[in-house]
Structures are given as structure tokens and as C-alpha cells.
Amino acid sequence: MNRREEQRLIDYFQSSHIAEQSIEDTLLDKAVVQGIQMGSRKRRSFMFRYRAGIMAGTLALCIGLFILMWPRIHVGPSPAADKVNFTAPDYVKSQISHNSAWLEAANHGLYQPINQTREQGGYRVTVDGVLADKRTMIFFYTAENMDGSSTPAVNNTKFLGTDGKSVSASVESDSFSQLSNKKVVQNRYILNFYGNDTTPDKFTFTGNWGPGQASDAKRQKFEIPVKLDRSKFINLEKHIPVHQDMMIHGLKATLDDATLYPLSTELGFSYDKKNSRKIQQFIKPRLTLKLQDQAVESAFRGSSLTENEPNRMYFNSLYYTDFSSLQFRSDGVEESLGDHLSIVVDTSKRELVHAPDDRVRLGNVITDSGSTEIQFHIKRGSNSLSSLDLDYSFTDGKGHTHKVATTRSESRILDPYSSHSSNDDFDVYHYFIDTKSYPQPLTIPITNYPGNEIRQPITIPIQ
């Protein structure tokens, strides 16, 4: 009885078949390339949650890491780096070999086999080993579904310290996962430690394993204690005092020091506290070093912010690199518009009440039965500038705090996101709130906002 509707649909989609076949390759290629470029820009910035309570509990430390992919071509690999001189499972060797700094560190004895296995409920999880220095830990594990054919999947993974709380580190989990077959997953996490926190000697790796879609009740909780030998790395650092000032358009910054670790390089900056104007980021920061007659750059990996200024900057490791000179370079700075910025919007009148400047405008307000999408248009500037980001909480006109909307099953937060149209000179920021009556206006704190771009080359000699 559906045959007539089915035929109508098949006829209807004929025009899509024709469009699919007749579209020019150049147009498709342009869309693909622009999509990748946009994605590359956006994936540079994502926030890591960082356990509060450090730095004597007084300093609001915000780790805003702008992670670039670990580059495949790394500065300074010695000829010996091409060889694997440590014992590990093949997938670990393969992963470590992709990064010459990791390989150098592993070949210098910093890979520690753990080989701790737990089995329960048809699952087997093995912590294979750890490549670690004082600031970075790369953690390798294998999970196997011994009974079924589905791929084992994990949620709620944690690295718990001896106090039972999550260790103070940013955890990256999204860069590698390998299926040796459908039942076995090999994976890694990268933990970065900041401030006074360092790689611990004891911690417990926990997670809930089960089939991909299983609820928590159907998953197996694993707790695997791990012990490391910190004596292998705790003293491996080279500290270089610098104390060089730079001044740019009335903004002063001091490069205090550089510290080289086997798996990363850290620079420490301080700023003129009397000046109310602030640098919120350096434009295109990099380390330039001389290797024999060749100048090479070491890629920027991220920065940690104290009071919204980048007090520590992280680069790829130079520890095992034999350089003759080292410089910090940047193309300029981005000056912050100020602390505690916010957007105030009246969604019932569809009016933007307040924004930091006229680069933000209110776009559409789209109401569904479950959620209301507020679209903000932000004028597109230089690629080097920060992008708009809003907090996941906002306050209504009576000062009550609300969270952003979740999906109907409340299983997932509707994350705000940016989109981009090549026909417009602005990006669209999509922000979702529950559809209900709020006392107006709504105040949404800004967590990231493009500042004033000041372009002026900066060079500071380190060594």
C-alpha cells in the first residue's frame, strides 16, 4: 500500500542524483578545503578541566591550552632516534616512534613497563606501560572483550591520586585509538601536569568498560593501581634563567625562565601588575633554535593563564636537542578588552542589551519545545585572534543561575558552537538554553573574547 509513496519519493530524489553527478569537482574541493581549514582553526582551542585548589587556593588558575597536534617532524632527532631501544608492545613502539621526542625519551629509559592486568565480567584491561617525565605522562593500555564480539568501550575514566581524588592534570584522550581486531582496543592518554603538580609515583587508573551503547549498570568498573619509578625522571630538567623584558605599545612582559624536560619545554612569563591593560595571548609564538647552520622552529603547544595572562607557555621538547642558540619569537600580542566580560540579552524582546563591543550582534532566536537557540553574530577578524566563547551557565534578570540546555533525555549537554558562512563577514555562535520563561534580561559570562591585535615582531634571546 506504500508503493505509490515510495515511487514518488524515488522520483523526488532523482533531482538530487542529478545534482550529485553534475556538481563541479572544483566547487566540492573548495568546500572541503575550507571546511578543513575552519576545523583546524577551531580545534586549536579547547578547554581542559583542571582541579581547583592548587596554588595555595588563592590564585584562580585557568589552564587554557591551545593544543596543536604533536608534529610529525620534530626538531633535533639524533641519528640514534631512528632505532627503538626499549621493550614494549608493538603498538606502543609504533606510537612512540611517531614522535622523535618521545622516542628519544623512551630510548633514554623513560618508558616504564607496567603490565598490570585485571579481568572481570568478560573484560580484560591491561596497563601496558607509561612514558613519563616530571611534567608529562603518556599512558598506554589494552582492553579486550573476551566473551562477545563487540568492541570494548570505556567511559568515566579517571586517574586517581592516593587521596582518592583525580590527579591535577589535563588529560588528552582523543588522539589515538587502535583496533587490533573487533574485540581488542589499544589506547593512550596524555596527562600534562602544571604549576606545582608533577607526575605522581602512585595512582589508580579507573574506568567502566562495556559495549559501546551500554548503560553504566551494564559496565564493568576496573580499578588498576599503577606504581612508577620517579627516580628515572624527577631530576631530568634543564633550567635556564632569562629575565628579559619586552615592551609593546605600552604593554610590558618579562620572560623569566625556560625549563627543558624530556617531553616538553616550558617558558615562564610575568607581567606588569600595575598596568590594567593585559596581554591575553601572543600571536604565533614559537621557539627558534640553531642546529649547526640550520635554523629550526619548535612548535607551540599551549599556555596556562594566571589572571587571564599567559604565565606559562609550552612547546615541544628540546631536551635531547643539541642547539647552539635559542630564541623566543612572536608576531605580536593580543590585548585583552578586560576581565569579567559578558553579553546581556533579552530573549523575549530579541534584543542585545550589552556586549563588550560592536563586533557582536544578536542573530536569530529559535525556539523549539525543548530548547531555545540564541545565535550571536561576531564579526570575523584575523585568524590569530581569540574566538568568542560563552560560559555554560548564565543568570536571569533576578540573578538566578541556569545551565545551558541538555538533550531531551538529559544525557548530553547541548554544547555551544561556532559556525561560519563564506557569504558573511561574521561567524555565528550558537548558544542553547531550555525553553521556558526567564526573568529578563539574561547575562551570559564570556570565557573567551577577541582582543585588540597588536602586530609587532618580538624576539627574546634565551640562550
Site residues, other proteins (CB under 8 A) = 2, 4-6, 8-13, 15-17, 19-21, 23, 27-32, 34-36, 38-40, 42-43, 69, 151, 153, 174-179, 185, 187, 212-213, 364, 366, 368-369, 417, 419-423
Pinpoint the alpha helices (H) of 291-422.
none
Closer Cβ to other proteins, 202 or 361, answer by number: 361
Closest approach, Cβ 446 to other proteins, in A, equals 21
- 441/126 Cα distance (integer angstroms): 53
Closer Cβ to other proteins, 327 or 435, answer by number: 435
- Nearest residue to 261 via CA among 79, 95, 52, 101: 101
Closest approach, Cβ 15 to other proteins, in A, equals 8
Closest approach, Cβ 4 to other proteins, in A, equals 7
- 305/448 Cα distance (integer angstroms): 12
- 385/221 Cα distance (integer angstroms): 43
* H or E stretch at 311: strand 309-315
Closer Cβ to other proteins, 221 or 417, answer by number: 417
Closest approach, Cβ 186 to other proteins, in A, equals 11
Closer Cβ to other proteins, 19 or 217, answer by number: 19
Closer Cβ to other proteins, 15 or 294, answer by number: 15
Secondary structure of residue 235 in the 3-state scheme: coil
Closest approach, Cβ 11 to other proteins, in A, equals 8
* H or E stretch at 97: helix 90-97
- 353/337 Cα distance (integer angstroms): 18
- 175/88 Cα distance (integer angstroms): 20
CB 90 within 8 A of CB 96: no
C-alpha cell at 320: 635531547
DSSP 8-state class, residue 107? I
Closest approach, Cβ 188 to other proteins, in A, equals 10
Angle at 414 between CA 411 and CA 420, to 5 degrees: 150
- Nearest residue to 177 via CA among 227, 202, 213, 212: 212
CB 343 within 8 A of CB 352: yes
Closer Cβ to other proteins, 153 or 385, answer by number: 153
Phi/psi-derived region of residue 343, left when phi > 0, alpha when psi is between -120 and 50, beta in every other case: beta
Closest approach, Cβ 39 to other proteins, in A, equals 3
Closer Cβ to other proteins, 43 or 249, answer by number: 43
Closer Cβ to other proteins, 108 or 188, answer by number: 188
Closest approach, Cβ 206 to other proteins, in A, equals 18
Closest approach, Cβ 275 to other proteins, in A, equals 36
- 269/255 Cα distance (integer angstroms): 5
Closer Cβ to other proteins, 5 or 358, answer by number: 5
Closer Cβ to other proteins, 64 or 200, answer by number: 64
- For the sheet with 309-315, list strands across it: 61-62, 300-306, 309-315, 265-271, 251-260, 238-248
CB 404 within 8 A of CB 412: no
Closest approach, Cβ 167 to other proteins, in A, equals 22
